[in-house]
Structure 1
Amino acid sequence: MTDTTGGRDEWIYVVTDIEVDGPWPGPNSMRSFASVAVTAEGEERGTFEAVLEQLPGAAPSPDTFAWFQTQPGAWAAATTDPEPVDRVMARFVEWVRSLPGPRMFAASPIAFDGTWMDFYLRRFTRYGLVQGPYERDVLFDGPGLCLRSYAAAVTGRPVAEASPRHLPAAWLGDIPHTHRAIDDARGYAHLLGVLFGRARALRPPTG
């Protein structure tokens, strides 16, 4: 098969950050999240952000709530003017489906943010992050990308040292990591472009 893309990565990456009031989806709630859709070169293709109502019967974890009290700006951003969860998730699905494909979810780390997003998608929509092999109607086309793991692979650092506080601020676009979902998602979206660029530079020459 002839490669007609010139080696370009044609995927759209939906880089997402969440803010939650505890560690467990269900007993605790995701209070806000934001996504930035970018190309592998870091070119922005759209944004989504929302504040969600608490899940019925859920309550904040005392430890997480105590931490948020030290971050009043982040708590206000995550809780002001919340919307019904089913409406937010339906709108998110519509937004993702409006993006050109193929589309891949990305987060740092995906094991945490992805678990929450998958829980909310499956509870309130017919989609998930990774769907079965015989499902034709899927929201995301790929298996998902863990930016923290990818940063560790590209830089050679331990995974534990691939968080925002260990990476150069310029790699995150000099966007402060504020624990406001849209700020952090924008920083991670910029990081994705930087990491892909560094990975391309490491490729052996072809031909």
Structure 2
Amino acid sequence: MTGLVGHRDEWIYVVTDIEVDGPWPGANSMRSFASVAVTAGGEERGAFEAVLEPLPGAAPDPRTYAWFQTQPEAWAAATTDPQPIHRVMTEYVAWVHSLARPRMFAASPIAFDGGWIDYYLRRFTSYGVVQGPYEEKTLFDGSGLCLRSYAAAVVGRPVAEISPGSLPAEWFGDIPHTHRAIDDARGYAHLLGVLFQRAQARAAGSAPLVAHHPSAEPRTERS
């Protein structure tokens, strides 16, 4: 994709979704996650999916666990055949390293999903999602991309109104938001490509600012 000043976007975006059994890294556990690596033009360059063992000493949050019991397929996908955490995170680092640079972490929202991935990376590897100026070895480049914030900017709506249910299904490649990490990551990866295209078209004066969608109402369920 060509940038606004004629430069081509050569970045790889590592679009990531997580499934957790509570709100707090450490007290609760990340049960599964998936990353889909895509170019700005929407070309997939690889995917990673894993189910992890619970953290030592952690326990599910009762409210989160109760919600998951209403989503049995999602709970099964997030908990079946879990693998040792250190092995998963080591393999994830190797997979990210196999991607071309520059590469950027992306999630919706990055404050939540990115915080969990950063916690697991720092606890079980020598990396993080966004690393400081004195950390010589980095896994990702740039500051990371919050898809929810970017979508709000592109469509001209408040961030609080952005969710998989408030944007057209085709923007997610018509991939249902199942709360299975790989499904949701692929949907968000497709969304990123659509947002890039709309931003380019809007800059060229050929796309409307606001997404018109009949079911575009704020939703409160888990993202």
TM range (shorter): over 0.9
Which residues in structure 2 correspond to 1:55-66 (within 5 Å)?
A: 55-66=55-66
- Deviation for aligned residue 1:117: 0.4
Between structures 1 and 2, the one with greater helix share: 1
Cα distance in 2, alignment partners of residues 159 and 23 from structure 1: 20
2:215 maps to what in 1? none
Q: Report the Cα offset of residue 73 of structure 1.
A: 0.2
Q: What is the rounded CA distance, in whole Å, between the counterparts of 2:204 and 2:192 in structure 1?
A: 21
CA RMSD of aligned residues (A): 1.4
* Partner Cα distance (1:136, 1:43) in 2: 30
Rounded to whole Å, the distance in 1 between the matches of 2:6 and 2:90 is: 36
Q: For each residue in 1:7-42, what CA deviation from the matched residue of structure 2 results, as whole angstroms up to 9, or x when unmatched?
A: 210000000000000000000000000000000111
- Alpha-carbon distance in structure 1 between the residues aligned to 2:204 and 2:177: 34
Aligned twin of 1:24? 24
Q: Distance in 2 between matches of 1:204 and 1:107?
A: 27
Q: Secondary structure at the residue paired with 2:165?
A: helix
Q: CA deviation at 1:171?
A: 0.2
TM-score by length of 1: 0.95
CA distance in 1, matches of 2:134, 2:52: 31
What is the distance in 1 between the residues matched to 2:131 and 2:28?
A: 24
Alignment partner, residue 121 of structure 1? 121
Q: CA deviation at 1:160?
A: 1.3
**For 2:126, what is the secondary structure of its paired residue?**
coil
Measure the CA separation in 2 of the matches of 1:169 and 1:136. Answer: 41
Instruction: Indicate the residue corresponding to 1:194 in structure 2.
Output: 194
- The offset of 1:149, in angstroms, is 0.2
SS in 1 for 2:112: helix
CA positional deviation for 1:199: 0.7
Give the corresponding residue for 1:108: 108
> 1:87: which partner in 2?
87
- Could you tell me how far 1:132 is from its partner in structure 2? 1.4
Q: Which amino acid aligns with 2:89?
A: M
| Cα offsets for 1:159-207 (capped at 9, x unmatched) | 11111010000000000000000000000000000000011112259xx
**Separation (CA, whole Å) in 2 of partners of 1:156 and 1:53:** 40
Give 5+ residue unaligned stretches, structure 2. 206-223
Runs of 4+ in 1 over 6 A off after TM superposition: none
Percent of paired sites with the same residue:
79
- Within-5 A mapping of 1:142-161: 142-161=142-161
Unaligned runs of 5+ in 1: none
Q: Distance in 1 between matches of 2:126 and 2:132?
A: 12
Alpha-carbon distance in structure 1 between the residues aligned to 2:42 and 2:136? 29
| Paired residue secondary structure (1:164) | coil
Q: Distance in 1 between matches of 2:182 and 2:123?
A: 23
TM-score (normalised: structure 2): 0.88
Deviation at 1:136, TM superposition (A): 2.5
- Looking at structure 2, the residues matched to 21 and 15 of structure 1 have their Cα atoms a distance apart, in angstroms, of 21
> SS at the partner of 1:23?
coil
Aligned residue number for residue 175 of structure 2: 175
Would you say 1:75 and 2:75 are equivalent positions?
Answer: yes
